[in-house]
Chain A
């Protein structure tokens, strides 16, 4: 156990994400790191977590890492599978505690873009996937956890397209727009974890991963990060036990947590 390799950045994100999950919650997730985090939480501190998917799949037993949100691993021995409209409906009706989402761009108010990068709607640099369920989750979920890599290209002053509303222009803007969900609770990245200042709703450093200074985090960000009062805590590292569970039981093929050369 003592000679186990430390967590790579993706494993670190998966671990920190898993800590966002409280036992007994229903979580709504997409493929990738949120899936890894959900299974890790289930195998460690949150054995009674229930995972649901936009394809309508509910509470599968664990199998291989899913290839797609619609694939069998998301509904492996599910007691039932809901239609898509009903699957989002359970979020509006209050049955989902947290939703986990990725982003291509995010701004200081947690607004997310998965539509297009650069230029405008017709003359873009890259067209991305579009919303999928991203807008639905961010509109409706009680709490939203956003996850992605951090860089000035991704953490931007203004997103090129608001696919999914965070706190819009801050303050009470989200509530005034009529959105029911609570908005972004936290942002988990390769550099640290962030929350949102309660009044202004601006993104604020919560913890930084070991070796990351506030200056370094700011350099990887295209807007001014808010800082908490007092010392910024260091994000806790996963224990060797947890790393071992992650590598041997959660994602043994390294589908989402392996890095070349690590």
Chain B
């Protein structure tokens, strides 16, 4: 492993001891990432595994796990639940956003965090995350903005040691990020402060896609966010896919194929793998479910056991979530209709997006289904 230096003041600000800096090294360690990439099979072979096998084989205690998709859009939440279920511990979590680490912290799954954003936009701040960080259940190793972290992943994809950025300058974020460094633009005659963002190499990533072939070529519809860059950077890549198609299908219609098979270690057929979130073109958020997660399960510390009972033990897979919690086939039909109408691939006239928000005084707190509304 290469050697890296960190600013002492920044380490002190983050309360990272000198003997803990090995926790930081691997994210920057290009040599070991290159070696991992070089040593995996480069052949187009059938890489299909079950979700249980893929997580068990490729996600190890202490790994740097990358959150993918966009918070609750095309995010492999079903795979994250499996990571919790298998009792994997001590992960570092990084991503822009990195919203999903919140529910992984109380179980010791995630113990170290790289933070750019954690919350649920208009649904409010994440009380659980705030509580867990303050109580020391996860240690923040670095603060970022979305754009600067995106540059770190992109540098890895481009195969360069890093980027000169104009973000983070003058902010307090830079005082809480041991990876980035204030530098001067070497080609400008006058002083031109920049921030050097090193290429970032996480250990493992799970990326949920619309279609993949058995080799790992993967197709995404809708926002790609940072996932192509992350797939090229991560030492180990698990693809979970709504469907597995024959390789010729991706040759004949290659629009949206963004991840090449060589990056990929495992391919998992996982319909509804983005639940509890949204999957572009396929299913809309269960909106009341998200409100209940933030306003109930994340609200008070003592609710986390109930979260575990409900989602990790009570549901063995995504089909249980659909059947036991969301309302089964009616939810499936409604979720498809809502997203197709919002994307305007289906007629949206007459499709009603109204629903009753889940609140802490909800008259039907057990009901987390968005009401099914026939058009006629």
A and B interact physically: yes
Give residues in A with beta carbon < 8 Å to B.
30-32, 54-57, 61, 63-64, 67-73, 75-77, 81, 83-85, 88, 92, 115, 121-124, 126-136, 139-140, 161-165, 168, 173-174, 177-180, 253, 256
Stretch binding the partner chain, chosen from B122-130, B208-216, B327-335, B358-366: B122-130
Q: List the A residue with the shortest CB-CB distance to B151.
A: A85
Distance A14 CA – B144 CA, assembled complex (angstroms):
30
With an 8 A cutoff between CB atoms, is B154 at the interface?
Answer: yes
Inside 8 A of A128's CB, which chain B residues have their CB? 119, 125, 130
* Contact of A75 with B170 in the complex, beta carbons under 8 Å: no
With an 8 A cutoff between CB atoms, is B97 at the interface?
Answer: yes
* Contact of B342 with A163 in the complex, beta carbons under 8 Å: no
Q: List the B residue with the shortest CB-CB distance to A81.
A: B223
Inside 8 A of B130's CB, which chain A residues have their CB? 124, 126-128
* Contact of A85 with B342 in the complex, beta carbons under 8 Å: no
How many whole Å from B376's CB to the nearest CB in chain A?
20
Known contacts A76-B342, A177-B193; decide if A163 and B166 are in contact (CB<8 Å): no
Known: A135-B148, A178-B191. 5 other contacts (CB 8 A): A55-B73, A81-B222, A92-B166, A128-B119, A130-B116
* Contact of B170 with A88 in the complex, beta carbons under 8 Å: no
* Contact of A174 with B170 in the complex, beta carbons under 8 Å: yes
With an 8 A cutoff between CB atoms, is B339 at the interface?
Answer: yes
With an 8 A cutoff between CB atoms, is B15 at the interface?
Answer: yes
Q: List the B residue with the shortest CB-CB distance to A253.
A: B354
Inside 8 A of A161's CB, which chain B residues have their CB? 172
With an 8 A cutoff between CB atoms, is B319 at the interface?
Answer: no
How many whole Å from B206's CB to the nearest CB in chain A?
17
A-B contact pairs, 16 of them (CB 8 A): A55-B70, A64-B353, A68-B71, A72-B278, A83-B226, A84-B225, A84-B226, A85-B151, A126-B130, A129-B126, A133-B145, A135-B171, A140-B167, A178-B166, A178-B169, A178-B192
How many whole Å from A65's CB to the nearest CB in chain B?
8
* Contact of B125 with A136 in the complex, beta carbons under 8 Å: no
Contact of A132 among B97, B191, B229 (CB under 8 A): B97
Distance A113 CA – B130 CA, assembled complex (angstroms):
16
* Contact of B129 with A85 in the complex, beta carbons under 8 Å: no
Contact of A121 among B13, B119, B225, B342 (CB under 8 A): B13
With an 8 A cutoff between CB atoms, is B72 at the interface?
Answer: yes
Inside 8 A of B192's CB, which chain A residues have their CB? 178
* Contact of A75 with B222 in the complex, beta carbons under 8 Å: yes
By Cβ-Cβ distance, the 8 closest A-B pairs, closest first, are A178-B193, A136-B147, A70-B70, A129-B119, A135-B145, A88-B147, A127-B130, A70-B73
Inside 8 A of A132's CB, which chain B residues have their CB? 97, 116-117, 145-146
* Contact of A129 with B117 in the complex, beta carbons under 8 Å: yes
Q: List the B residue with the shortest CB-CB distance to A139.
A: B167
Contact of B344 among A56, A77, A162 (CB under 8 A): A77
With an 8 A cutoff between CB atoms, is B51 at the interface?
Answer: no
Distance A61 CA – B345 CA, assembled complex (angstroms):
12
Q: List the B residue with the shortest CB-CB distance to A181.
A: B166
With an 8 A cutoff between CB atoms, is B160 at the interface?
Answer: no
How many whole Å from A56's CB to the nearest CB in chain B?
5
Inside 8 A of B196's CB, which chain A residues have their CB? none
Distance A76 CA – B281 CA, assembled complex (angstroms):
11
Distance A122 CA – B171 CA, assembled complex (angstroms):
18
Interface string of B134-154 (1 = CB under 8 A from A): 100000000111111011011
Contact of A63 among B116, B169, B278, B342 (CB under 8 A): B342
Inside 8 A of A124's CB, which chain B residues have their CB? 130, 134
With an 8 A cutoff between CB atoms, is B194 at the interface?
Answer: yes
Distance A69 CA – B146 CA, assembled complex (angstroms):
13
* Contact of B166 with A180 in the complex, beta carbons under 8 Å: yes
Inside 8 A of B169's CB, which chain A residues have their CB? 139, 165, 177-179
* Contact of A69 with B70 in the complex, beta carbons under 8 Å: yes
Inside 8 A of B115's CB, which chain A residues have their CB? 130
Distance A178 CA – B196 CA, assembled complex (angstroms):
13
Q: List the A residue with the shortest CB-CB distance to B144.
A: A131
Inside 8 A of A162's CB, which chain B residues have their CB? 170-173
Q: List the A residue with the shortest CB-CB distance to B176.
A: A121
* Contact of B171 with A73 in the complex, beta carbons under 8 Å: no
Q: List the B residue with the shortest CB-CB distance to A124.
A: B134
How many whole Å from A100's CB to the nearest CB in chain B?
14
Interface string of B314-352 (1 = CB under 8 A from A): 000000000000000000000000010011100010000
* Contact of B150 with A85 in the complex, beta carbons under 8 Å: yes
How many whole Å from B298's CB to the nearest CB in chain A?
13
Known contacts A63-B342, A71-B73; decide if A85 and B167 are in contact (CB<8 Å): no
From A75, A126, A135, A179, residue with most partner B Cβ within 10 Å: A135
Known contacts A177-B193, A179-B169, A180-B166; decide if A85 and B229 are in contact (CB<8 Å): yes
Q: List the B residue with the shortest CB-CB distance to A131.
A: B145
* Contact of A56 with B73 in the complex, beta carbons under 8 Å: no
Contact of A130 among B70, B143, B194 (CB under 8 A): B143
* Contact of B134 with A73 in the complex, beta carbons under 8 Å: no
* Contact of A178 with B194 in the complex, beta carbons under 8 Å: yes
Inside 8 A of A84's CB, which chain B residues have their CB? 96, 146-147, 150, 225-226
Inside 8 A of B297's CB, which chain A residues have their CB? none
How many whole Å from B66's CB to the nearest CB in chain A?
13
Distance A162 CA – B129 CA, assembled complex (angstroms):
20
